[in-house]
Structure 1
Amino acid sequence: MSAMGMLACDEFGRRFIIIKDQDKKRRLQGIDAIKSHILAAKAVSDIVRTSLGPKGLDKMMVSADGDVCITNDGATILQKMDVDHQVARLLVQLSQSQDDEIGDGTTGVVVLAGALLEQAEQLLDKGIHPIRIADGFDMAAKCAIENLDRIADSFPVSDRENLIRVAMTTLGSKIVNKCHRQFAEIAVDAVMAVADPERKDVNFELIKVEGKQGGKLEDTVLVKGVIVDKDMSHPQMPKTLKDVKLAILTCPFEPPKPKTKHKLDVTSVEEYETLRKYEAEKFEEMVDQVKATGANLVICQWGFDDEANHLLLQKELPAVRWVGGPEIELIAIATGGRIVPRFSELTTDKLGAAGLVRELNFGTTKDRMLVIEECKNSKAVTIFIRGGNKMIVDEAKRSLHDALCVIRNLVRDSRVVYGGGASEISCALAVAEEADRCLGSLEQYPFRAFSDALETIPLALAENSGLAPIETVTAVKSRQAKEKNPHLGIDCNFTGTFDMKKQNVIETLAGKKQQIMLATQLVRMILKIDDIHSPANPMGVE
């Protein structure tokens, strides 16, 4: 017998294992199984629904180790949740897919999926087969995406001010909104510095986001180069270097060790002196090899002892040690240098070049970081975030990630739609209109359900802003239908106008399309699962 179960035999002597807690599980089939899935997915959706929009509430997540994270980023909330139910985990993966592909809209996609499943449950109660519901939702999603293409506006990426307005929309619901424009400008400048307009692509590997506690959010800066959380290996080495030639090494300043399993015994003073002299000669040889190439700064992946450090100071060769693998790669890309694994392979043409290398000091904390600027490859940039504590720095990183992704998406596809629920209401009207055209078929019911589900986003935005949700959405929907104006949405910030174009609340077309497609695909997947061995807790969400 074990902690997990016990061994038993049947009447023929064949052994089988009885799993512990088997009596607490139940097998669900058919419509009951689908409704169990919907219940679990709705539980997850309801948790993040209150975080939607600029007035959305934050969630405090406490890990098993006691680490506290405060955020309203949908992907982060779901990632840190303890979810047991298999279908509820699918919603977590859905949010992660949206985050990986688009970077923004992670809360909205989960809220939309939850709303679609809620509508599907009502259709199941009417006796409509799950596959017919899924097919109807697919057709309605195509109709909504076609409508998005119709109402989308072209957006000139060359205009920096336009990009800043889009980034500000993304950051409007984040903790950094007190430095709204500053962070938007940083995100735009970072992306445009590394963007390739011809290929319409952005290499995110060239954008490094570094954070340091202390200071204010307003102290956040964009550095056209690389910031390394290290300082010079010796306090007497110069703090500022100009016209720098960097030797980037993955070999330590240490004498070679004997490649043998046998011990090296030193039994006399003479032998010790010989060994010490050999080590000193090797240290000098290594330093001279580096100096001979013309290098005036060494970036080393490994450490080196005090003797080597002192010799480097004597030979006037500044050095930085214990620089991590990803950082050393970014330095090599930025400076145009080659990573060298052996001193003997180091040559002048493998050195990196930078106009300025300096140490940054931080107030009373005396923390130091190394800034490498005016690099040969000016495309590598670093965003250096400051904040009062670790939580603010981490949330600022997540916020900037969303803004960077949105600007990248605009470089790829420059079309936009308008936020505040405006595009969802427009799509809801288009889908409802299509439902009226197919009155003779069963698909009209999934179409109308899809239309109602799309209205959940503006309803949640109005509710989270303290407005009367049904009255507000009904009024905006009525005006959109009368005026044929797809820019009308929910005035979450109480500016006095419902026109999202005037408010500059802008979202990428690619992000909105992805939301609808991913949510519909997940709902189809859930509606097709009709058999599950589920835990006793049907929701399985803590």
Structure 2
Amino acid sequence: MHTQVVVLNDSLKRESGQKVHHANIQASKAVADIIRTTLGPRSMLKMLLDASGGIVVTNDGNAILRELDIAHPAAKSMIELSRTQDEEVGDGTTSVIVLAGEMLHVAEAFIDKKYHPTVICRAYNKALEDAVAVLDKIAMTIDVNDRGTMLSLVKSCIGTKFTSQFGDLIANVLIYFYNLNFKDLAIDATTTVGVDLGQGLREVDIKKYIKVEKVPGSQLEESRVLKGVMFNKDVVAPGKMRRKIVNPRIILLDCPLEYKKGENQTNAELVKEEDWELLLKMEEEYIENICSQILKFKPDLVITEKGLSDLATHYLSKAGVSAIRRLRKTDNNRIAKACGAVIVNRPDELQESDVGTAAGLFEVKKIGDEFFSFIVDCQDPKACTVLLRGASKDLLNEVERNLQDAMAVARNILKNPKLVPGGGATELTVSATLKQKSSSVEGIEKWPYEAAAIAFEAIPRTLAQNCGVNVIRKMTELQGLIQHANGENAWTGIDGNTGEISDMKERKIWDAYNVKAQTFKTAIEAACMLLRIDDIVSGIKKKQAPGAGPSKPQVETEADADGEQILPD
């Protein structure tokens, strides 16, 4: 019987079997160990250096992993895990890596005992189903219209962040934004793009409607939410134009207020001096015409995304109108949302309804070395700006990252208004319930199922470690309390600030249900995926020595039934 010949090039490397499983588990554990110390309110910070010499100081799991340069494919998939978690729910990026790393760590013993990965994965998936069922059981529904509850929830969710000492400020930013954009948008979700949140609410694109302006200097306590917008621009002619206008009439344009330049092939032949004067006169008449079309509506402020000529500046300043040019498209859209104006493409199409009249004040202020324009005190603005002040750019970047997480938390609660206890209480309850259920699991799946239950304890254990308390004593005490309560007292956990065992409901330490459910699902599914890899094949060519010829393929030959060697064609 003839068999097919296998030809392997020497650039093709292959690893398989147990060696791959151990390598993947070790790589995943290494990634988890990098960010293990960044979990909880007493977490450490990481200082990251990039190739260009920039520095990032943060304890945000996703921000840390994003900066790492890793070659191992399993470690890369762990980093992808954190990015997915950040995109889906915006929080829990550290927890998901720690939990996935622990799930793989406890699976290593079964790999050594020659358990088939499919058996381990089946047990893990069963444990995941039961864990989500426990989450549903202990989840507490809240009223999203209760300002106090929302404030305490956002504060508890960002309590693990570097800027937790400014939790009140960030929470108030969130609540303001929540009231601004969600409360009065009673729009039918079937006719509008967006997620129906019930009670006439719909999801609003945070990135589009809220702008974070970071201005180094002063103290973080001076950060505030503006009922309107600010942008880094000054008026075109500061000496001639007003820098402060109360109740301004605002016109927004998306066209240049200057003479149209000719195309590449334009040729103008001037024979007499009068021809030059005629050209200049045509240009002046054109600009005077478009300025008169704008001034007809008696604006106080004209903002354009394009250029604005000196002559147009002269006509506008003469009429007492302030002007700003070359504004970003995104900023212009935000101004339109805040002051009720409509962005117009041609001055001759302007109408009274296009003029924005909802702004209470236009003002130009100097902050540090730069001028910033403020359009504030708007009536019912649909966009706002958060002005962040702080000692350095690094601090401001970290505050912005924390603010983005907090906004994601508020969005999650609006989508699904359910809470579960924080401080590792949820994981301990899930762990205790799964341990009880493991006795009813039949066959060899029982042991991986029990190991998955123990893996959930990694979160409270890491919290205790980061507090600097005696981990073994605290974990034994906690497990005893939960077993004594027979899994009914789901609100006992570790206070991440003091390391003491406390009632999470009293301390108001909560987590969003969406974040916790996504963490469990992502961690276990990723662990299963990595366990099911039994081959790593690399087709990357080795670097040859200078002058060496192309490598010859290595040919493996096999013998036929008569013992004769088969050679390839």
Q: TM-score, normalised by structure 1?
A: 0.90
1:186 to 163, 173, 193: 173
Q: 1:112 aligned to 2:114? A: no
Q: Find the aligned partners of 1:476 and 1:410 in 2 and give their Cα distance.
A: 28
Q: 1:433 to 1:350 in 2, by over 3 A?
A: same
Q: Find the aligned partners of 1:105 and 1:266 in 2 and give their Cα distance.
A: 71
Aligned length: 515
For residues 40-55 of structure 1, what are the structure 2 equivalents within 5 Å? 40-55=27-42
Q: Find the aligned partners of 2:418 and 2:435 in 1 and give their Cα distance.
A: 25
Q: Find the aligned partners of 2:535 and 2:499 in 1 and give their Cα distance.
A: 50
Point out where structure 1 has 5 or more consecutive residues left out of the alignment.
1-15, 537-542
Would the aligned equivalents of 1:50 and 1:460 in 2 still touch at CA under 8 Å?
A: yes
Q: Find the aligned partners of 1:85 and 1:245 in 2 and give their Cα distance.
A: 59
Q: CA RMSD in A?
A: 2.3
Q: Find the aligned partners of 1:99 and 1:218 in 2 and give their Cα distance.
A: 27
Report what 1:321 is aligned to.
325
Report what 1:453 is aligned to.
455
Report what 1:290 is aligned to.
294
Q: 1:67 aligned to 2:70? A: no
Report what 1:215 is aligned to.
218
Q: 1:234 to 1:70 in 2, by over 3 A?
A: same
Q: Which amino acid aligns with 2:413?
A: L
1:382 to 380, 385, 404: 385
Q: Greater CA deviation, 179-188 or 97-106?
A: 179-188
Would the aligned equivalents of 1:105 and 1:515 in 2 still touch at CA under 8 Å?
A: yes
Residue-by-residue CA offset, 1:95-148 (whole Å, 9 max, x unaligned): 111111111111111111111111222221122111121121111011111101
Q: 1:117 to 1:362 in 2, by over 3 A?
A: farther
Would the aligned equivalents of 2:301 and 2:322 in 1 still touch at CA under 8 Å?
A: yes
Would the aligned equivalents of 1:191 and 1:404 in 2 still touch at CA under 8 Å?
A: no
1:121 to 97, 104, 108: 108
Q: Find the aligned partners of 2:347 and 2:8 in 1 and give their Cα distance.
A: 61
Any idea what SS the aligned residue of 1:158 has? coil
1:352 to 340, 350, 356: 356
Q: 1:533 to 1:496 in 2, by over 3 A?
A: closer
Report what 1:405 is aligned to.
408
Report what 2:556 is aligned to.
none
Report what 1:395 is aligned to.
398
Report what 1:8 is aligned to.
none
1:240 to 244, 254, 258: 244
Any idea what SS the aligned residue of 2:122 has? helix
Report what 1:96 is aligned to.
83
Q: 1:469 to 1:264 in 2, by over 3 A?
A: farther
Q: CA deviation at 1:441?
A: 1.8
Any idea what SS the aligned residue of 1:489 has? strand
Task: Give the fraction of aligned pairs with identical amino acids, expressed as a percent.
Answer: 32
Would the aligned equivalents of 2:493 and 2:501 in 1 still touch at CA under 8 Å?
A: no
Residue-by-residue CA offset, 1:336-362 (whole Å, 9 max, x unaligned): 332222223222222333322323534
Would the aligned equivalents of 1:240 and 1:356 in 2 still touch at CA under 8 Å?
A: no
Residue-by-residue CA offset, 1:123-177 (whole Å, 9 max, x unaligned): 2112211112112111101111110111111222222111111111222222322
Q: Which amino acid aligns with 2:258?
A: E
Q: CA deviation at 1:221?
A: 0.4
Q: 1:122 to 1:272 in 2, by over 3 A?
A: farther
Would the aligned equivalents of 2:467 and 2:499 in 1 still touch at CA under 8 Å?
A: no
Q: Greater CA deviation, 382-391 or 312-321?
A: 312-321
Q: 1:413 to 1:200 in 2, by over 3 A?
A: farther
Point out where structure 2 has 5 or more consecutive residues left out of the alignment.
1-6, 186-198, 541-569
Any idea what SS the aligned residue of 1:222 has? strand
Q: 1:138 aligned to 2:129? A: no
Q: 1:308 to 1:489 in 2, by over 3 A?
A: same
Would the aligned equivalents of 1:188 and 1:404 in 2 still touch at CA under 8 Å?
A: no
Q: 1:477 to 1:262 in 2, by over 3 A?
A: same
Q: 1:80 aligned to 2:67? A: yes
Report what 1:5 is aligned to.
none
1:154 to 134, 141, 148: 141
Residue-by-residue CA offset, 1:393-441 (whole Å, 9 max, x unaligned): 1111001111111111111111101111111111111111111111x32
Q: Find the aligned partners of 1:485 and 1:55 in 2 and give their Cα distance.
A: 25
Q: Which amino acid aligns with 2:80?
A: Q
Q: Find the aligned partners of 1:97 and 1:202 in 2 and give their Cα distance.
A: 20
Q: Which amino acid aligns with 2:526?
A: L
Q: Greater CA deviation, 368-377 or 140-149?
A: 368-377
Q: CA deviation at 1:370?
A: 1.8
Report what 1:432 is aligned to.
435
Report what 1:515 is aligned to.
519
Q: Find the aligned partners of 2:222 and 2:272 in 1 and give their Cα distance.
A: 59
Report what 1:492 is aligned to.
496
Q: 1:260 to 1:180 in 2, by over 3 A?
A: closer
Any idea what SS the aligned residue of 2:120 has? helix
Larger gyration radius, structure 1 or structure 2: 2
Q: CA deviation at 1:467?
A: 1.2
Q: Which amino acid aligns with 2:532?
A: K
Q: 1:473 aligned to 2:475? A: yes
2:260 to 242, 252, 256: 256
Q: Which amino acid aligns with 2:313?
A: N
Q: Greater CA deviation, 122-131 or 31-40?
A: 31-40
Residue-by-residue CA offset, 1:77-111 (whole Å, 9 max, x unaligned): 11111122222222222111111111111111111
Any idea what SS the aligned residue of 1:254 has? coil
Q: Find the aligned partners of 2:285 and 2:8 in 1 and give their Cα distance.
A: 68
Q: Which amino acid aligns with 1:189?
A: Y
Q: TM-score, normalised by structure 2?
A: 0.86
Q: Find the aligned partners of 1:436 and 1:231 in 2 and give their Cα distance.
A: 71
Q: CA deviation at 1:334?
A: 2.6
Q: Which runs of 4+ in 1 moved over 6 A?
A: 16-19
Any idea what SS the aligned residue of 1:424 has? helix
